[in-house]
Amino acid sequence: ARLRSWPVEEKNGAVYLYFDKEGREPAFDVPEVPEYASPEWTDVIRRDWVVASCAQEMAENSVDPAHFRYVHKTADLPEAKAWSEGPVFRANLDYPVAVGDGIQHGTIDIYAHGMGIGVTYFRGIVDTAVLVSGTPLDRGRVHHRLSFMVRKRESEEATQAIAQAFTSEIARQFDEDIPIWENKIYLEQPALSDGDGPIGEVRRWARQFY
């Protein structure tokens, strides 16, 4: 099989490759990320990891409300909604964060274009766009990359302080997820509770890529 590029010279400052074992052309396009070219957003802050897992297992984590509360210590269980639009998987989470003596609500909007590329938006607390990409290295490892862009604040100093703090917090939470990804067992028919979120929707969407 051959690796083929999407029919674009460059998009979002990156080169994208598509693999199909039958050598077919890509059936969908990669997402536009307008924040890359906007002066209202910071330059990209990149983080990357090699995780002993697979793309689908990592995707299921994003719609699991219980882990936000008990692993990442959000103030309460987020509300999660998920649906698919062809090759694009959509999810929306309303997540509460303790701020001082109160609780502030933010949202996470997820757009996954196939199993390897997507954009996640954090809104309401620190507006952040994250280009999410994962490349399987072999049957048991994924090279996962997060490229952060944060909406600029009133000054360069405030922008840099908030951007570094927020991206470091998301990276810290990612580190907390790694032991779960690397040790969980895949069950064809898991025993789900009410707090486990729309994992079935992720699995139904993922079938089209196998």
**Which of 128 and 37 is assigned the larger pLDDT?**
128
**pLDDT value at residue 25:** 84
Is pLDDT above 50 for 80? yes
**pLDDT value at residue 79:** 81
Is pLDDT above 80 for 78? no
Q: What angle do CA 65, 70, 75 make, to 5 degrees?
A: 75
CB 95 within 8 A of CB 107: yes
Lowest mean pLDDT among 4-8, 41-45, 71-75, 148-152: 4-8
**Burial of 167 (C-beta count, 10 Å sphere; 0-12/13-18/19+):** buried
Q: Which residue has the tokens 């999810």?
A: 91
Q: Mind giving me the DSSP string for 135-157? A: EEEETTEEEEEEEEEEB--SSHH
Is pLDDT above 60 for 61? yes
What is residue 87's three-state secondary structure? coil
The enclosing H or E element of 162 equals helix 156-183
**Which of 52 and 194 is assigned the larger pLDDT?**
52
Q: How many CB atoms lie within 10 A of CB 204?
A: 13
**pLDDT value at residue 3:** 47
Amino acid at 10: E
**pLDDT value at residue 8:** 45
Sign of the dihedral through C-alpha 5, 11, 13, 19: negative
Query: What does the buried/exposed string (b/e) look like for 84-112 if buried means 16 or more CB atoms within 10 Å of the residue's CB?
Result: beebebbbbbebbbeeeeeeeebebebbb
Lowest mean pLDDT among 6-10, 55-59, 127-131, 174-178: 6-10
Is pLDDT above 70 for 43? yes
SS (H, E, C) 56-69: HHHHHHCCCHHHHH
- What's the pLDDT tens digit per position in 90-128? 999 887 776 667 777 889 999 999 988 999 999 988 899
Q: What angle do CA 53, 97, 110 make, to 5 degrees?
A: 45
